Homo-oligomer: A and B are copies of this chain.
Amino acid sequence: MVNWKNLDTLEAYGKLLQLKDSVVLKEEMAGENGAQRVAKYSVPMAAGLSYNYAAKAVNDEVLGVLSELASEAQLTEKYEALYNGEVINTGEKRHVLHQLCRGQLGEDVIADGVNKREFYAGQQQKVAEFAKRVHSGEITNAAGEKFTTVVQIGIGGSDLGPRAVYLALENWAKTNGELRMEAKFISNVDPDDAAAVLRETDIPHALFIVVSKSGTTLETLTNESFVRNALKDAGVDPSKHMLAVTSQTSPMASSTDYLAAFFMDDYIGGRYSVSSCVGGAVLSLAFGPDVFARFLNGAAEEDRLAKETDITKNAALLDALIGVYERNVLEYQMTTVLPYSQALSRFPAHLQQLDMESNGKSVNRFGEPVDYVTGPVIFGEPGTNGQHSFYQLLHQGKNIIPIQFIGFKNSQIGLDMDIQGSTSQQKLCANVVAQIMAFACGKDDENPNKNFDGGRPCSIIIGEQLTPEALGALLAHFENKVMFQGFIWNINSFDQEGVQLGKILSKRVLAHDTDGALKAFADLMNI
């Protein structure tokens, strides 16, 4: 049995607090010692990735206490409890089973009388068979023509994760002849979102996937109606163009309005649902089920590595622990994610949801307020673009913001050329390593305006190329990091009570059931 204790009751946390400012990063990274750190402070990950933390403000002493913290907080034991089916989502009294979509990590998990691994694998199989029939031309539109486009209608986790993954693999798929259908996404209740996407869509050759676990998400149902009308206007039968991804108990599950329905369940939260058929349907249609399976394999391999108890061999665990050191001991409020890969342009937005919605909490898993800070704010944009933009503040601003770089040795498309003695890919890689050192070590200058204090902690995940496997591993790494941090903070990373109040109030506004400032604001907006 594991014990769930608040962070500030742990002995190792007390020790860690004593180590505030014990590491002078700039000095650690200087000279030969710096080179040795780069070699030593590296953890192999799945799919050929590695996590390098040489430029983090840690040393062997800090790592020793972090290791004690990992043991005392029983982090890998809690992970084991999670994947073996313990009810980790205490608030909603649910299992947490997104890893089970990707592979079997421990015991069979039986819930609602069903073996859940079989259920998830079965849905994935259903999706794969459906996708193959679409690709082969067995399933067509009424005119017998192939579908060429797939449009995902969803919001939050049904949008950000699948969209980030699609964009991350789109060029890889085109280059490798794996792009089966173009994918588009409608999410915002802003009517211009659906209208703009539909304007650019060849409706008679499009399949639309409506994604809503409950079958009651207002934005999604609104956009579904919008699309349904557009299909009718285009003279096609919506029920032959629309698919449902929902739970078996939702009103959408048995509706005849859909060509097919694929199922998820309550044990996979929206922000963790890329690996379920929420991501699986759109990605299998876009890239083919084999590519989606490769993505899942990369994630599954990373999940297995996260079982390792030695923190220096478990990238997700170590990343989580260092993040807690930065958040609770060094008192940094944010982390920025900077992928040196244009394909990962929306990956930071996915991580923003994953992390902030999971760990932006003020109560522990028993619903009691905690006295320490929890999840940081996450933001980010691709480098090198950011270098010409907000990096100014990261380098010379008054607050320190830890940085998570991601870089690949090779591009996806492979088209490149030598300009001024180096290829674009070499320039990209040179920039990311230069930035790590600029942030970590800074540069002394007599002119304070040209002075760089350094001491900005950085880590980097390095890969050979952004392949389906590497992307799966990357996704699982961050999911597992967030999970471990939730364990450390003793919070429930799998509910989201903070999104409820706005929903309730907006319904009141639409029902004109308001007074005071809310009515005054509603009047200002002419509602």
Contacts and interface: CB of A to CB of B under 8 A. Distances in A.
Contacts of A24: none
Given A191-B415, A389-B160, A415-B195, A30 B396 contact: no
Given A171-B192, A397-B362, A434 B518 contact: yes
A189 interface: yes
Interface in A29-83: 29-32, 34-35, 37-39, 42, 52, 54-55
Interface stretch (A246-254, A288-296, A416-424): A416-424
B517 A398 contact: no
Given A499-B392, A509-B430, A397 B424 contact: no
Contacts of A378: 390
A435 interface: yes
Nearest to A462: B524
Contact of A431 (B174, B189, B334): B189
A123 to B, nearest CB: 23
A427 B222 contact: yes
Contact of A396 (B34, B362, B395): B362
Contact of A497 (B196, B396, B426, B498): B396
A443 B499 CA distance: 12
Interface size of A as a range: 35 or more
Contact of A382 (B156, B188, B432, B525): B188
B190 A527 contact: no
B190 A342 contact: yes
Given A226-B424, A429-B525, A398 B362 contact: yes
Interface string A488-523: 000010011111111111101110000111111110
Given A449-B91, A516-B34, A522-B430, A391 B190 contact: no
Contacts of A384: 155, 188-190, 219
A392 B498 contact: yes
A307 B498 CA distance: 41
Contact of A30 (B191, B389, B516): B516
A425 interface: yes
Contacts of A368: 448
B187 A385 contact: yes
A369 interface: yes
B516 A389 contact: no
Contact of A357 (B359, B393, B409, B426): B393
A308 interface: no
Contact of A527 (B270, B388, B433, B506): B433
A309 interface: no
A436 interface: yes
Nearest to A440: B517
Interface stretch (A97-105, A140-148, A348-356, A472-480): A348-356
A515 to B, nearest CB: 8
B409 A526 contact: yes
Quick one: copies of this chain in the complex?
A: 2
Nearest to A518: B437
Given A334-B333, A437-B518, A501 B187 contact: no
A413 B198 CA distance: 12
A373 B398 contact: yes
Given A384-B188, A427-B218, A448-B363, A417 B517 contact: no
A221 interface: yes
Contact of A421 (B423, B502, B510): B510
B385 A159 contact: yes
A219 B128 CA distance: 41
Interface string A369-382: 10011110111011
A428 interface: yes
A282 interface: no
Contacts of A196: 170-171, 342, 413
Interface-centre pick from A54, A222, A442 (highest chain B CB count, 10 A): A222
A39 B517 CA distance: 9
A270 B171 contact: no
A245 to B, nearest CB: 16
A399 interface: yes
A419 B298 CA distance: 42
A487 B244 CA distance: 55
A422 B401 CA distance: 43
A417 B191 CA distance: 8
6 contacts: A156-B387, A192-B411, A360-B392, A391-B502, A426-B527, A434-B506
Which 4 A/B pairs are nearest by Cβ-Cβ distance? A360-B393, A156-B388, A34-B517, A434-B505
